[in-house]
Amino acid sequence: MERIYATANGFIEQSDKQHCYFLHFNNTSYQIAPCALIALKAKLHSYKLDEILLGDEELGLEIIPVCNRDRFLILEFHELIELKELINGTFVMLELNSIMAFANG
């Protein structure tokens, strides 16, 4: 498996053999299909962090479905920020790898 991107509390690996990704976050691992990773990115993108932070309500827990809603992440605000960074960084690295493969190929 190849590690794609990492943060302080998590990382994502790509398994070419199993045609999937593995999200390791807060000491828990999730096997994720490529389409589920894209769906997770879209779900995280829908969270407007500035609105949550500046809103009148207390910062609470966010529940995020993973792997076709088979499992869930229950995150505090700072964990949500880190997960969003992890997923965004992963897609940047995947795009970079794609560009490099195209240039070398």
53 band by pLDDT with thresholds 50, 70 and 90 = confident
Specify the range with the lowest mean pLDDT, choosing from 5-9, 22-26, 29-33, 99-103: 99-103
Beta carbons within 8 Å of 104's beta carbon, 6+ residues apart: none
Tens digit of each residue's pLDDT (9 = 90 or more) over 26-52: 999 999 999 999 999 999 999 888 877
Residue 58's H or E segment, with its range, is: none
CA 44 to CA 46: how far, in whole Å? Answer: 5
Distance of CA 93 to the CA centre of its chain: 12
Nearest alpha carbon to residue 72 among 61, 82, 57: 61
pLDDT of residue 80: 93
10 band by pLDDT with thresholds 50, 70 and 90 = very high
CA 20 to CA 17: how far, in whole Å? Answer: 8
Q: How much is the CA Rg of the chain, to the nearest whole Å?
A: 15
* Single-letter amino acid, residue 77: F
Domain boundaries defined on the chain: 2-104
pLDDT of residue 26: 92
CA 103 to CA 98: how far, in whole Å? Answer: 9
